[in-house]
A and B are shown apart, each in its own frame.
Chain A
Amino acid sequence: MKSPLAMIVAVLTGLIVLLGYFIPNPVLSRIRTPLLDWAVILSGVAGLVAIIHLIFGVHWEKVKKQGMQQWFSLVVVVVFLVTLIAGLFLEPTNPGYQKVVTYIQTPIESSLLAILAITLSFSSLKLLQRQRNWMGIVFFVTVIIFLILNSGLLSFTDQIPILRDVLSGLQMIPTAGARGILLGVALGSLATGIRILIGSDRPYNN
């Protein structure tokens, strides 16, 4: 079942896009630009396929089953169809249509954000219960220190030369730590890309 043609197309496409990024050549650029445009179009089509699967593959199946979930899924399917039909007739740029969608979606997402704030506060309280090791303690103490530093409580230290420099130096530590983590992430991303380019990882090949 594994198709060598799919691998050849994927590797060649990847190489052309990569070379076009590093080598400023008009011929490469002329090939690279449409390839990237196709990728964006395919990604959009994949999004459409996924939404159809979510509505008619997942939620429609739940509608057919008994139980409370049935009604939630029915609401999802009906609201999706209403939004789709309204969007097709009024067009997505219609101000009235945009207003209705935004005024429903924004409050729902805002309330989820509020729940998230409570969830995270509660998780922070339980942090030392979960991470009973020195890293957990360091994380907890660091959170407390930087909450105080960034709260503005110590703004009076701007007038004290040595303390001001010490606190300014402390503020650099999170940036240094984040850079260290991002360095590892960048190397990992590079390794993942190269494995796909040499055809070792084939997430596309059925």
Chain B
Amino acid sequence: MSSIEQVIGFSVVVFFTILVIVFSTKSIRNRFPASFRKIEAINRLKRAIGMAVEDGSCLHISLGSAQLTDPSNASALVGLSTLHRVGQLTSTSDLPPICTSGSGSLLILSQDALKRISVDTNTQAFYDPNHTSMAGATPFSYAVGTMESIVDRGVNGNVLIGNFGTEAGLLCETLDKARVSITGSDSITAQSIFYAATQDTLIGEELYALPAYLAANPTHQASLRVEDVFRVAIGSALIAGSVLKVLGIL
């Protein structure tokens, strides 16, 4: 990485952080209330959460097989935020959500998330560390183990958020049996498989918007706004660059 790239990268991170903090403040939130565009997949998930509470059915969240030391872990962290929020929303249900993952670090973090929810909502009696598991150590064994968990526990709603590869195709086979299944991944391969094989797929940045749509906390909504600001800026820069290139100026 050249020194100019380092300066640009560092400036982007600092500017992004400042904007997230500014947009999280109460005064900005009150002055410019958030308005979300409709994402049908997320609306269906909200309905599934409501139904899970009413009929005591089980929701399943799968976090993919990214390692925390990989650059692809951000999507799994979004999955963890979603698990935390879904766990909070279903805390009045008889069955807490179950969670599967394909890496050890995600197993420990998901157990931690469910335990934290049980403490926050005073439902420690329902907490069971076996509600989370590492379904398999390799991508395919993870897919097969997750399929088994879905069938065994009579899951009624699935949320697959994280880093997946081609094994996503195997997982999709079992998703049809559930009332609702939301899928999203940072991998282009998995996104196209999910789009072809499931009904509700989150494409691109929609995946990262999920916690904000579930009203997790003000910072989620703020970061969504900052993403929009940056997207417009980057898009404009790309268009301007193309025009200048065509005109022979660049």
Contact = CB atoms under 8 A, between A and B. Distances in A.
Contact of B199 (A130, A190, A200): A130
A58 interface: yes
A50 B108 contact: yes
Given A194-B16, A194-B20, A54 B112 contact: no
B73 to A, nearest CB: 9
Contacts of B166: 113, 116
Contacts of B92: none
Contact of A47 (B104, B195, B227): B104
A10 B142 CA distance: 29
A58 B196 contact: no
B158 to A, nearest CB: 15
A206 B234 contact: no
The A contact surface, by secondary structure, is helix
Contact of B133 (A53, A115, A139, A187): A53
Given A22-B10, A120-B197, A131-B199, A112 B170 contact: yes
Interface string B53-97: 000000000000001110100110110110010000000000000
Contacts of B196: 120, 123-124, 127, 139
A98 to B, nearest CB: 16
A201 B77 contact: yes
B173 A182 contact: no
A200 to B, nearest CB: 4
Interface stretch (B26-34, B44-52, B185-193): B185-193
Interface string A113-150: 10110011001100100110000000100000000000
Contacts, number: 193
A203 B119 contact: no
Interface residues of A, number: 62
B137 interface: yes
A49 interface: yes
B106 to A, nearest CB: 8
B186 A185 contact: yes
A58 B130 CA distance: 7
B186 A54 contact: no
A77 interface: no
B207 to A, nearest CB: 7
B217 interface: yes
A154 interface: no
A191 B204 CA distance: 14
B243 interface: no
B123 interface: no
Interface of A: 1, 18, 22-24, 36, 39-40, 42-43, 45-51, 53-54, 57-58, 61, 69, 105, 109, 112-113, 115-116, 119-120, 123-124, 127, 130-131, 139, 178, 180-185, 187-198, 200-201, 203-206
Given A187-B227, A195-B223, 7 more contacts: A40-B69, A43-B67, A46-B107, A123-B193, A188-B75, A188-B227, A192-B74
20 contacts: A18-B13, A24-B6, A42-B105, A43-B68, A43-B104, A43-B105, A50-B103, A51-B134, A53-B107, A54-B135, A188-B78, A188-B207, A188-B227, A191-B224, A194-B13, A194-B17, A195-B219, A198-B17, A201-B81, A206-B119
